[in-house]
Amino acid sequence: MKVSWDHLPQAQWEEFHALQHGALQQAWTYGDALTSLDVVMHRAMVWDGGRLVALAQFMCRRIVGYVSLASCTRGPVWHPDTTAAQRALVYRLLRQSIPLPRLKVLLFSPDRALPEVDAVEIKGMSRVMTGYSTVLLDLTSPLTSLKEGLEGKWRNRLNKVLLNEKLRVQVQPSLKRCQWLLGKEMDQREAKKFHGLPTDFVQAYIDANTDPRQSFAVAYAELGKNTVAAMLFLIHGRVASYHMGWADDEGRQLNAHNALMWKAMVYLQELGVEVLDLGGINTHDLPGISRFKLGTGGRAVTLAGTYF
C-alpha cells in the first residue's frame, strides 16, 4: 500500500467521501475551513495498487511545546471492501508517514460502533476515550415512511404545530439567517458556559465550498415579525450534520423545533442528502435534547472511541 499526503486531488477525495457517507470531520471543506482559521491540517489518501482504500484527515497541534498531537476524528473513511488486516496496515502506515516531527502522537476515532471494529484492526492500540453517541437518520425512505417512523408523541407535536397557520417555517441557504443564528449561539454559549467549534468556523466552512448554497441550510420559524426558533445544518457530500439550534420561550411552547426538523428533512432529501447526522446525544446530561433527536426515528449509534 502507498500513502499520499497533502497535495491531493480534491474532486477524488470528495467523490470517495460522498460515496462512503463520510463524517463532517473528514470532509475536504472542513479541513479547508480549519486551515483558514490557522489550524494545522494534514490529509492522506491510501492506495492499494490503483484502488483508493482510505482517506484520513488529521487536526494537529503541539502539546508541551515539542510533541505533535494529530487527531483523526471519525476517520479514516474506508472503502467498504477493506479487510481488518488491511485497516491495521493503514493505521501503521499513517503513523509512520505523517509529515510531523519525530515526537508525535496519533489518535484515531473510528466512525463505527465498537462491535463493528475487528480486534485484528486495532491490535496493539489502546482505547483512551469512550465513544461519542449520535443519531443517524436515513433520508432515502419515502416521506410517508419517515413520518411513520417518528416516535408517537414527537409526531403528534409535529402535526399540531403544522396546523398553526400563524407560524411560518422556511428552510433555505440564507447567509443573513445564518449570521443571525450564530449571534444567538454566541449568546447561548455565554449564558450556559459551554464551548464548541468557534462560530467563525461556519462562515469559513461556507466560504470553502465551491457552491456555498450546497454547503448549509437554515431552518427558521416566524411568528408575526419575530423569529422564534432556528436550526443550522452543514452539508457534506450525501450527508448533512445538525450543527446548532435555538428557540425562545414561545418557540419552545409551540414545539417549533419539531416543524423545523421535519421541514429540514424534506428539504435535505430533495437536495439529494441520504443521511442526516443529528449530532451528540447524552441522555444523562442532556435528556430533553437527546429525546428530541431520538424521537426522529433515527438509529442511535455509540462510536468505538478514541485509540492511540
| Contact (Cβ atoms closer than 8 angstroms) between residue 43 and residue 31 | yes
Residue 232 near residue 244, CB atoms below 8 Å: yes
User: What pLDDT digit, counting tens, does each position of 179-237 carry?
Assistant: 999 999 888 888 776 667 777 999 999 999 988 889 999 999 999 999 999 999 999 99
Nearest Cα neighbor of 205 from 28, 67, 78 is 28
pLDDT for position 188: 82
> How large is the angle between the packed helices 152-162 and 256-271, nearest 10 degrees?
90
Domain with CATH 3.40.630.30 in the chain: 2-125, 134-302
* Domain 134-302 homologous superfamily, CATH: Gcn5-related N-acetyltransferase (GNAT) (3.40.630.30)
CA 294, distance to chain mean position in Å, is 16
In whole angstroms, give the CA distance from residue 215 to residue 202: 10
| Residue 14 CA, distance from chain mean position | 15
As to burial, measured by CB atoms within 10 angstroms (0-12 exposed, 13-18 middle, 19+ buried), residue 49 is exposed
CATH number corresponding to 2-125? 3.40.630.30
| Three-class DSSP category at 38 | coil
Q: What is the pLDDT of residues 226-285, one digit of tens each?
A: 999 999 999 999 999 999 999 999 999 999 999 999 999 999 999 999 999 999 898 877
> pTM to 2 decimals?
0.95
Neighbours of 18 (CB within 10 A): 16
Give the whole-angstrom CA distance, residue 275 versus residue 298: 10
Taking the C-alpha atoms of residue 264 and residue 273, their distance in angstroms, rounded to an integer, is: 11
C-alpha cell at 304: 468505538
Residue 203 has what pLDDT? 95
The pLDDT mean for the chain works out to: 95
**Least confident stretch, 72-76, 95-99, 208-212, 241-245:** 208-212
Predicted pLDDT of residue 29: 97
**294 in helix, strand or coil?**
helix
The per-residue pLDDT for 271 is 96
Q: Which of 99, 105, 60, 52 is nearest to 80 (CA)?
A: 52
